[in-house]
Amino acid sequence: MNMSDPGCIFCKIVSRDITTEFVAETSNTLAFRDIAPLADVHLLVIPKQHHRDVLELAKNAPSILGELMNTAANLANTYTNGSFKLQFNTGAEAGQTVCHAHAHVLADNVKDAS
Ligand code: AMP
Ligand code: ZN
């Protein structure tokens, strides 16, 4: 299986060919701020491996999907008050524009760090 797609924008983030602000990294996942935020908190969590969407990730690498969920939970705990949306757009008609599996962590509350 091809674990990287040279034309994929998120694979370029994984390889650091495109720079962005990372908020978390684990062995198999990366997280960064969405470039066009739709909420006060808008983070993306991706597997480092290229899988077309969350269903392909679930089928081909379920343990990495589990790791991704754990990363998302840690970010939600850090950046939100515990109420958040976890969204996987799947398919163009559902609004998926980047064909590399990713979870949106969305919240209109920001955790008060004080
Ligand atoms: P989706 O529409 O579910 O495929 O989500 C793709 C998301 O990736 C969109 O919300 C974009 O704003 C975001 N995005 C695209 N390019 C970048 C980038 N270079 N850095 C951060 N976020 C990006
Ligand atoms: Zn990719």
**Could you list which residues have their CB under 5 Å from ion ligand 2?**
5, 8, 10-11, 50, 100
Spatial CA neighbour of 96 closest among 33, 31, 10, 7: 10
Indicate whether 114 pLDDT > 60.
no
Query: What pLDDT does residue 2 have?
Result: 63
> Cα of 90 to ligand 2 centre, how many Å?
14
Residue 87's pLDDT band (cuts 50, 70, 90): very high
Residue 18's pLDDT band (cuts 50, 70, 90): very high
Query: What pLDDT does residue 112 have?
Result: 74
Q: Which domains does the chain have, with CATH numbers?
A: 9-107 (3.30.428.10)
Residues forming the active site: 102
CB atoms within 10 A of CB 76: 21
Q: What is the pLDDT of residues 28-46, one digit of tens each?
A: 999 999 999 999 999 999 9
- Global pTM reads 0.96
